Amino acid sequence: MTRKQKRLAVIGGLGVVLVIAAGLIFTALRDQIVFFYSPSELREKEVAIGQPVRIGGLVEEGSWVKTGQDNKFMVSDGETATLVTYTGILPDLFREGQGVIAEGSLVDTTTFAATTVLAKHDENYIPKEIADTLRDRGEWRPETNTADQ
């Protein structure tokens, strides 16, 4: 075996090891990756029921119903709204008309069961994902966001 063939064999072996390592990493992370969707994207992408995802948008005015620790509210991106159910104490800053991100999974095609709800941290903040989505859809209200500046 010549020196050139030995180098090619070493490089080829390292390439195989790299591909195997990348495959193992992606397999291990597959269950840990949580994708973010707006309510419209959630319907368009046909996310599987039970798959963990994050949705974000604005809490529709007048949609929040609280019964004990059970909460129901609509999250909207200005085009589509999704019913979100959450059992527990909502963040102190949770309000109607404000940005919110909910992590959980679809129960059926129209209802999202949240395990975690994240709310804004001041009256001018909208999470970047929501701002980008609203900006893409032409629903952006720049006077309400100073976080990107």
pLDDT at 120: 66
Highest mean pLDDT among 10-14, 27-31, 44-48: 10-14
- In this prediction the pTM is 0.65
How far lies 58's CA from each of 48, 70, 76, 139, 141, in Å?
23, 19, 5, 11, 12
What are the structure tokens assigned to 148, written together?
A: 């990107």
Say how many Å lie between the first and final Cα of the chain, rounded. 62
pLDDT digits (tens, 9 = 90+) for 101-144: 999 999 998 899 999 999 866 656 666 777 787 788 776 665 55
Question: Tokens 């209200």 appear where?
Answer: 141
